[in-house]
Amino acid sequence: MINSNLQTSFKLIIPLLALILLFSCKQNSTTFTASEAASVKDSVQLLAANTAKDISTKGPIAWLDYFEDASDFFMASNGDMAFADYKTADLFIKNTLVKQIPHINLKWSNIRIDTLTPQIAIIGANFHEDITDSLGKVTPFDGYFTAAAHQTAKGWKYRNAHWSIKDGK
């Protein structure tokens, strides 16, 4: 008798659970039109252009204007974690980097932008930097940069980033 009642309950509960699962797992997607994707791409392209311009005119301190001031921010360089969070980046740039490298001339090329949502895009680009150290010596570097760009209340920011320097430099 209990076994029969249990079977009947399962026959009623299983379809009900399936319906609940079906409706609760419905993707919460918004339509992301080609026009919106193009707008995101243009905005992230502008982020890259402004980054290069400001780094080249203000020096490495300008990176702090473009890194997202959030606990989820991180940056890696050549496969190693450079900054675990924004606070680490802020301290290193302000206390060390600006003293070691007073000037950087940054140029992007072959920029690729993959728009994921209206608020998130992935950017990748070749870069060339001429880095001037504190003694005035200029050293060129070439490599590749990738980052997740995030639309924040303060505009587009790099949520995380990775730099790879080509060998031999």
Compute the C-alpha angle 163/43/125, nearest 5°. 25
Q: What is the pLDDT averaged over residues 11-37?
A: 58
What pLDDT does residue 32 have?
A: 79
| Per-domain residue ranges of the chain | 34-165
Nearest to 74 by CA among 56, 92, 54, 57: 92
Interval 114-130: pLDDT, tens:
999 999 999 999 999 99
Q: Please provide the CATH number assigned to the domain covering 34-165.
A: 3.10.450.50
Query: What integer pLDDT is reported at residue 19 of this predicted model?
Result: 42
How long a stretch of residues is the chain?
A: 169
Whether the pLDDT of residue 7 is over 50: the answer is: yes
How many angstroms separate the Cα of 134 from the Cα of each of 51, 54, 99? 22, 19, 7
| Mean of all residue pLDDT scores within the chain | 87
**What pLDDT shows up at residue 13?**
57
pLDDT beyond 60 at 100: yes
| Both structure tokens of 163 | 């730099």
- Listed in order, strand segments (DSSP E) in the chain are 74-77, 80-83, 103-117, 120-132, 138-152, 155-165
pLDDT tens-digit readout, 36-68: 999 999 999 999 999 999 999 999 999 999 999
Percent residues over pLDDT 90 in the chain:
75
Q: Between β-strands 138-152 and 120-132, what pairing exists: parallel, antiparallel or unpaired?
A: antiparallel
Residue 81 sits at φ, ψ, to 5 deg, of -70, 120
Angle CA 59–42–85, to nearest 5: 45
* pLDDT the model gives residue 18: 47
pLDDT of residue 143: 97
